[in-house]
Amino acid sequence: MSRIAFAATPDGAGLSLISGIALHCQALRADPRASLLIGEVSARGDPLNQPRLTVHARARFYDRPPAKLSGLRAFWLSRHPKSKLYIDFADFVFVRFEIVGANLYAGFAKAYALAPNDLKVDNVTDI
């Protein structure tokens, strides 16, 4: 289990910027199947009653440096401006998570199975 920075793309996929020396990066290269837990930490209440999304995906690596992927780089920095400090380090790569399915847990007794199309944003251009 690892904690990563994440951004949802307009076409419903996920995107992350990961160091190639990180163990989770090496694990995804060996087996691209991934499960991502997305949610906010709350100081109040039972964490199991907090909304969260579990995304089932396949990782696809962009093996070109982020500086050579200007559209992705701009998109990422618009959502994670502090990553400007390390985005151009030689070992960092973008990883796209192509969604296979998802489970939304919206609170006690509120669970929903989602298809990839359920995570797309309407009327937004792709990056």
Question: How large is the greatest C-alpha to C-alpha distance in the chain, in angstroms?
Answer: 46
28: how many CB neighbours lie within 10 A of its CB?
A: 21
Phi, psi of 80 (to 5 degrees): -135, 70
pLDDT at 57 over 80: yes
pLDDT for 69-104, tens place per residue? Answer: 888 999 999 999 999 999 999 999 999 999 999 999
Specify the 3-state DSSP secondary structure of 17: strand
pLDDT for 6-37, tens place per residue? Answer: 998 888 889 999 999 999 999 999 999 999 98
- Report which of 123, 75, 71, 97 is spatially closest to residue 18, judged by C-alpha positions: 97
Q: Model's pTM, two decimal places?
A: 0.82
**Nearest-angstrom CA–CA distance, 110 and 127:** 33
**Nearest-angstrom CA–CA distance, 12 and 106:** 19
Structural domains for the chain? 7-47+58-100 (2.30.110.10)
